[in-house]
């Protein structure tokens, strides 16, 4: 192929379809589509039928061959299948690059613009823990932070615990996992991943000398927990194939890793486990969980060789989390409490027949978590989709809520390791308010802003933007919140470019937060909105349960109904509406494309989970067994039939689809690269339109994309440029 010729053709198409700095009322998407046939010929993946026999059916998958094992990917010499797969992915990348070539200058402009708003020599707010102030800081020109501390005062000499820029040298991907300092402040354990598969090797550093211990522990979750003897570590191992966190080991510094003792093994393949420590540092805590069930074990941190005890044995549909205070465990649980409640139980009598209510269940308030202090209980709640932080004295003398003023916002309790502090550290942001770190003084109620994210460039003023919240009535009568932001002065002409984002799975709530990158959309006339659809927990636990398993279709129809409501409200039209979602939100994008392709002009599907049937049938794939209670097990015919209604890959058919940009990572451990690769190949085979269909496969990263602070912004610039191209925005 003559890529230079293809590039010239794409430039011609660009010149014909663009020519204005703001969205043109004269330039419609159809003007671009009529020229799309002049674009280069896209890759044509080979079809190699693979048959799966299930429930009396034969499912044919023409692109099953695209799946490679980790061993194949890691082999120094590629076999024929690996070579064919890599060649296909590289062809898709070349095609994407050629199609997007006319936007390269715009992508560079967007990158520079976004980076230009970010403070290069930034520093986190220091956190006090056992006499040391801990913080991280960036230096200009560096992609990774320095992890630092100072003893006693911020005026003391700086101690660089981890020089991440130096550690990252020579690696195309670099990530530090959990970091934990020993109780005597002398040792640091941390994890490093240089592949992007979320498998970390643990290292131990002597902070007094700067030397690394010879101890190296591979295939972990990235963090470790110290016993109080300053020499015993507990860590979690991952299954090398499924990446399930399934074993807890005990390691004594200076001894061979091969002699580490297995202290807990989760043999139920639907559960994953981990280990931590109570805030009081009195107890080591092992937690194991699946989507609908949890179980906790505890051990006195002073006796790491002692016998672990269970808090409450697992039961189906029983979830709980444990905090320690005094002679009691404080437990957030859904036992007889759909929206969760807080109970307490004596440490020496922990089963639920001993549980005593502290905060009763409320039908209209979701209890999300607690933080315990010597004199105060801090409660994180959610009501009507909005965060609340409640502060309650143990003696009952006061019970107050921190005030928040924006119509849509995010607020959450931050790092508060000091059990005896008189202040609460928390974070706040809205769609118009930059990320802020604040402190609330318990005794007085005074609030101090310790830091607010700086937006450089001198052009940002919160007063120039408007945030609002709408309640959209879905087709079944349920009211769905939508958080919206746009530039002040925008008129509802029906032709405004509009980006609708959502996630809608696992009970994760997507709050209305601030983004410096998003300003590049708003300042070019875009409206941005988050649809808080069912499948999250914004409106309570029922919101999640109404968007999973046999209720999953609600997630997709909620999103479609929210999009249609934005059109009906005069914000936009299908010619200017765009949708974005990633991972399970990418599943949302794929389902919406099949169910309502005419509602959106363009779709950005990030690392999309689109091959639901095939993935959930294969228990060797990471996350599969852990997620049977989220999607269902298709080996059960009822679940199979229901999933087949929405699985994007299985529902691709001959019809017109929106312009689509798909992103993925070759080393993705959460959604394997072959799902989007198969999906785009199948879409190309059967779709009836000439709309753009491109995929960006980062061959060096996994689920989270690039690891560098600024490198990942290049991915954002690509996504924005894709939408701007379709809108006729060339600057």
Whole-angstrom distance, CA of residue 366 vs CA of residue 385: 9
What are the tens digits of pLDDT across the range 47-62?
999 999 999 999 999 9
What are the tens digits of pLDDT across the range 617-632?
999 888 888 899 999 9
* Main-chain dihedrals φ then ψ at residue 569, nearest 5 degrees: -80, -5
* Catalytic-residue membership of 668: yes
- 3-state secondary structure (DSSP) of residue 124: coil
Whole-angstrom distance, CA of residue 546 vs CA of residue 338: 13
- Do 14 and 102 meet the contact criterion of CB atoms below 8 Å apart? yes
Q: Which residues contact 578 (CB under 8 A, 6 or more apart)?
A: 497, 498, 499, 500, 600, 601, 602, 603, 604, 723, 726
What are the tens digits of pLDDT across the range 592-623?
999 999 999 999 999 999 999 999 999 988 88
Pairing of strands 50-54, 57-61: antiparallel
Write down the pLDDT at residue 704.
66
> Could you say which DSSP state residue 397 is in?
S
The DSSP secondary structure of 527-576, one letter per residue, reads EEEEE--BTB-TT-HHHHHTTSGGGTHHHHHHHHHHHHHHHHTTS--TTT
Write down the pLDDT at residue 694.
98
The HSE-up count of residue 155 (CA atoms within 13 Å, CB side) is: 0
Q: Token pair 């703001």 is at which residue? A: 22
Write down the pLDDT at residue 603.
98
* Main-chain dihedrals φ then ψ at residue 162, nearest 5 degrees: -135, 120
- Do 212 and 203 meet the contact criterion of CB atoms below 8 Å apart? yes
CA distances from 14 to 1, 8, 32, 696 (A): 21, 10, 8, 20
Q: Residues 180-200: what's their mean pLDDT?
A: 92
* Catalytic-residue membership of 583: yes
Write down the pLDDT at residue 707.
64
345-351: long-range contacts, CB 8 A cutoff, minimum separation 24: 350/309, 350/310, 350/311, 350/312, 351/311, 351/312, 351/313
In 3D, which of 536, 646, 666, 634 has the Cα closest to residue 593? 646
Whole-angstrom distance, CA of residue 92 vs CA of residue 99: 10
Instruction: Give the distance from CA 640 to its chain's centroid.
Output: 27
In 3D, which of 123, 127, 173 has the Cα closest to residue 145? 123
Banded model confidence at residue 240, pLDDT cuts 50, 70, 90: confident
In 3D, which of 583, 579, 581 has the Cα closest to residue 665? 583
Write down the pLDDT at residue 37.
59
| Region for residue 377 given its phi and psi (left: phi exceeds 0; alpha: psi -120 to 50; beta: otherwise) | beta
Q: Which residues contact 376 (CB under 8 A, 6 or more apart)?
A: 391, 392, 393, 394, 424, 442
Please give the structure tokens belonging to residue 319. Answer: 């979830």
Burial of 220 (0-12, 13-18, 19+ CB in 10 A): buried
Banded model confidence at residue 708, pLDDT cuts 50, 70, 90: low
Burial of 708 (0-12, 13-18, 19+ CB in 10 A): middle
Residue with the bigger pLDDT between 77 and 406: it is 406
Banded model confidence at residue 10, pLDDT cuts 50, 70, 90: very low
What are the tens digits of pLDDT across the range 361-403?
999 999 999 999 999 999 999 999 999 999 999 999 999 999 9
Whole-angstrom distance, CA of residue 608 vs CA of residue 587: 5
Write down the pLDDT at residue 36.
54
Q: Residues 81-102: what's their mean pLDDT?
A: 96
Give the number of other Cβ atoms within 10 Å of residue 635's Cβ.
13
The DSSP secondary structure of 326-385, one letter per residue, reads TTEEEEEE-TT-TT-EEEEEETT--SGGG-EEEE--BTTBEEEEEEE-SSEEEEEEEETT
- What CATH code would you report for 1-118+609-731? 3.40.50.1820
Q: Exactly one of 17, 558, 703, 730 is catalytic; name it.
A: 703
The Cα angle at residue 233 between residues 232 and 238, in degrees rounded to 5 = 150
Whole-angstrom distance, CA of residue 321 vs CA of residue 376: 19
Q: Given a cut of 70, is residue 12 above it in pLDDT? A: no
Whole-angstrom distance, CA of residue 655 vs CA of residue 626: 35
Whole-angstrom distance, CA of residue 673 vs CA of residue 663: 9
Please give the structure tokens belonging to residue 533. Answer: 């659809």
Q: Token pair 């479609």 is at which residue? A: 560
Write down the pLDDT at residue 714.
93
- Do 582 and 562 meet the contact criterion of CB atoms below 8 Å apart? no
Whole-angstrom distance, CA of residue 605 vs CA of residue 592: 11
- 3-state secondary structure (DSSP) of residue 116: coil
Q: Exactly one of 668, 669, 696, 707 is catalytic; name it.
A: 668
Whole-angstrom distance, CA of residue 320 vs CA of residue 331: 6
Q: What is the 3-state secondary structure (H, E, C) of 1-66?
A: CCHHHHHHHHHHHHHHHCCECCCCCCCCHHHHHHHHCCCCCCCCCCCCCEEEEECCEEEEECCHHH
The DSSP secondary structure of 208-226, one letter per residue, reads TT-PEEEEEEEEEEEEEEE
How much is the pTM? 0.90
What are the tens digits of pLDDT across the range 199-234?
899 999 999 999 999 999 999 999 999 999 999 999
Banded model confidence at residue 11, pLDDT cuts 50, 70, 90: very low
What are the tens digits of pLDDT across the range 155-166?
999 999 999 999
Q: Token pair 């005094």 is at which residue? A: 326
| Mean of per-residue pLDDT scores for the chain | 92
Q: Which residues contact 245 (CB under 8 A, 6 or more apart)?
A: 221, 236, 237, 238, 266, 272, 273, 274
Q: Given a cut of 60, is residue 18 above it in pLDDT? A: no
Burial of 176 (0-12, 13-18, 19+ CB in 10 A): buried
Banded model confidence at residue 464, pLDDT cuts 50, 70, 90: very high
In 3D, which of 495, 560, 569 has the Cα closest to residue 727? 495
Q: Which residues contact 383 (CB under 8 A, 6 or more apart)?
A: 364, 365, 366
Percent of the chain predicted with pLDDT > 90: 85
Write down the pLDDT at residue 75.
85
């Amino acid at each position: 192929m003559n890529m230079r010729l293809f590039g010239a053709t794409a430039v011609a198409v660009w010149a014909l379809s663009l020519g204005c700095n703001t969205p043109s009322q004269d330039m419609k998407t159809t003007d671009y589509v009529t020229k799309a046939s002049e674009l280069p010929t896209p890759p044509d993946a080979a079809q190699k039928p693979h048959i799966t026999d299930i429930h009396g059916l034969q499912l044919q998958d023409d692109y099953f061959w695209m799946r490679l094992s980790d061993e194949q990917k890691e082999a120094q010499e590629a076999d024929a299948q690996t070579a064919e797969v890599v060649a296909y992915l590289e062809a898709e990348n070349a095609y994407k690059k050629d199609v997007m070539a006319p936007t390269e200058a715009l992508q560079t402009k967007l990158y520079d613009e976004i980076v230009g708003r970010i403070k290069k020599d930034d520093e986190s707010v220091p956190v006090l823990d056992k006499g040391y102030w801990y913080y991280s800081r960036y230096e200009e020109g560096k992609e990774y932070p320095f992890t630092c501390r100072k003893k006693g005062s911020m005026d003391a000499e700086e101690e660089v615990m981890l020089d991440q820029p130096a550690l990252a040298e020579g690696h195309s991907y670099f990530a530090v996992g959990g970091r934990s300092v020993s109780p005597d402040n002398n040792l640091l354990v941390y994890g490093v991943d240089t592949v992007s598969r979320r498998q970390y090797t643990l290292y131990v550093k002597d902070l007094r000398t700067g030397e690394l211990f010879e101890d190296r522990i591979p295939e972990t979750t990235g963090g470790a927990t110290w016993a109080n003897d300053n020499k015993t570590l507990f860590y979690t191992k991952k299954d090398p194939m499924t990446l399930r966190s399934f074993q807890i080991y005990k390691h004594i510094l200076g001894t061979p890793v091969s002699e580490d003792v297995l202290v807990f093994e989760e043999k139920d393949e639907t559960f994953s486990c981990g280990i931590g420590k109570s805030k009081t540092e009195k107890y080591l805590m092992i937690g194991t969980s699946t989507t609908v069930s949890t179980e906790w074990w505890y051990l006195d941190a002073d006796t790491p060789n002692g016998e672990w005890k269970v808090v409450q044995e697992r039961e189906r549909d029983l979830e709980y989390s444990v905090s320690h205070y005094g002679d009691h465990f404080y437990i957030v649980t859904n036992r007889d409490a759909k929206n969760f409640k807080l109970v307490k139980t004596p440490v020496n009598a922990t089963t639920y027949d001993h549980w005593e209510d502290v905060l009763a269940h409320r039908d209209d308030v979701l209890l999300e978590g607690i933080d315990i202090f010597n004199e105060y209980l801090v409660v994180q709640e959610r009501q009507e989709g909005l965060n609340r932080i409640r502060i309650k004295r143990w003696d009952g003398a006061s019970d107050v809520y921190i005030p928040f003023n924006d119509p849509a916002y995010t607020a959450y309790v931050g790092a508060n390791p000091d059990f005896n502090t008189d202040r609460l550290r928390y974070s706040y942001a809205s769609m118009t308010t930059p990320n802020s770190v604040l402190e609330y003084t318990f005794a007085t109620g005074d609030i101090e802003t310790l830091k607010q994210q700086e937006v450089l460039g001198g052009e940002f003023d919160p007063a120039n933007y408007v945030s609002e919240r709408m309640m959209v009535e879905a087709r079944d009568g349920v009211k769905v919140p939508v958080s919206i932001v746009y530039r002040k002065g925008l008129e509802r002409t029906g032709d405004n470019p509009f980006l609708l984002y959502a996630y809608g799975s696992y009970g994760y709530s997507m709050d209305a937060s601030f983004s410096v990158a998003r300003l590049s959309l708003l300042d070019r006339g875009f409206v941005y909105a988050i649809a808080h659809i069912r499948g999250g927990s914004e409106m309570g636990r029922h919101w999640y349960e109404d968007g999973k398993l046999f209720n999953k279709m609600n997630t997709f129809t909620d999103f479609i109904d929210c999009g249609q409501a934005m059109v009906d409200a005069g914000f936009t039209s299908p010619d200017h509406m765009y949708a974005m979602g990633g991972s399970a939100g990418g599943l949302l994008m794929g389902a919406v494309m099949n169910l309502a392709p005419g509602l959106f002009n363009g779709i950005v599907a990030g690392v999309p989970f689109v091959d639901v049937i095939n993935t959930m049938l294969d228990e060797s794939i990471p996350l599969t067994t852990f997620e049977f209670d989220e999607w269902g097990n298709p080996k059960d015919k009822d679940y199979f039939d229901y999933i087949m209604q929405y699985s994007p890959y299985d529902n691709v058919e001959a019809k017109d689809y929106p312009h689509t940009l798909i992103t993925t990572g070759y080393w993705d451990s959460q959604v394997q690269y072959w799902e989007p690769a198969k999906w785009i190949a199948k879409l190309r085979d059967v779709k009836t339109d000439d709309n753009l269909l491109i995929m960006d496969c980062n061959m060096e990263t996994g689920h989270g994309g690039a690891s560098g602070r600024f490198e990942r912004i290049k991915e954002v610039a690509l996504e924005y440029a894709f939408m701007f191209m379709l809108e006729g925005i060339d600057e």
